[in-house]
Amino acid sequence: TLISVLIRIELYSSGNRIISPENQNFYNISITLHGFLMIFFLVMPGLFGGFGNYFVPIFQGSPEVVYPRVNNFSILILFVSYLFIILSLISEFGGGTGWTLYPPLSTSFMSLSPSSTGNLIFGLLISGISSCLTSLNFWTTILNLRSYYLTLKTMPLFPWALLITGGMLLLTLPILSGALLMVLADLHSNTLFFDPIFGGDPIFYQHLFWFFGHPEVYILIIPAFGIISIIISGILQKIIFGNQSMIFAMSCISLLGSLVWGHHMYTVGLETDTRAYFTGVTILISLPTGTKIFNWLSTYLGNPSLLHLKT
């Protein structure tokens, strides 16, 4: 929160207002840490891991997740990854690469410190291992540890949201890990994956990163969709209107969201047909999202007396 306040005050007007021109790298470090900490160490562990570990056994009618010790291990290594991220702040000049870690900035010895970037990458890799273990745990719990009367059709929407989110994480996190290992190799092992002078391609890194980066948006929001559905269902004491269409809508959002990473890269010179594809599929995501909003509102409209606030 303090970092975000600092960024907002600095952007309030043009020119340097808080951060002196001699220390502009601190602003880049603030952007980097704000992105990493908010995404990988607040929203993901909170909405996905925290709410999931508490509510999935309750909704499944099971005493615990399938692998509680794996669960314990995943939260422990998350603290280790957090320490690596913080260590990048105090090692050498800090990792001011932005949360995207774009080469050649992240692979250059001229503009920043390799050890800080290495710490950032190690932190993200360990965080990815933690998320993958949690996803596997949720998948096995939801699919194999349900009560005998609970089928996939009658299962609440929050476990469905975690099932879909876990699938997206297992699909996209290995891609990000591979890209980060390539950056680490460029930085410390004299490889040239992303150096255009020697035949590398920095745009290739952007494709790999955003193949994870855009589904990450839905990895963060789909558990929130499930929580909203549970809250509305609990308040109204009824099943969400169009329960199976809600499951289908979340599945469509996750599928389409994994196919539109290129709309983050329009400035790199994509072909017109490629931009048209990414634009069209991005617009299509509004259909299942609108379906969810419609179903939530329809659930409320089935109880018109509850639409009036009583004071």
CB 41 within 8 Å of CB 80:
no
Provide the CA 215 distance to its chain's centre, in angstroms.
7
Q: How far apart are CA 125 and CA 157, in angstroms?
A: 30
Residue-range domains of the chain with CATH: 32-307 (1.20.210.10)
Place of tokens 């908010």: 38
Q: What is the DSSP letter of 275?
A: H
Q: Phi-psi bin for 237: left (phi > 0), alpha (psi -120 to 50), beta? A: left
Residue 308 above 70 pLDDT? Answer: no
Amino acid letter, 126: I
Tokens linked to 304: 């018109």
Residue-wise pLDDT tens digits, 87-138? 988 887 778 888 999 988 888 775 568 888 999 999 999 999 999 999 999 9
pLDDT at residue 148 in the model? 82
177 phi/psi in degrees, rounded to 5: -60, -40
Burial level of 153, CB count in 10 A (0-12/13-18/19+)? exposed
Is pLDDT above 90 for 153?
A: no
Rg for the chain, CA atoms, rounded? 22
**C-alpha 42, offset from chain centre:** 10
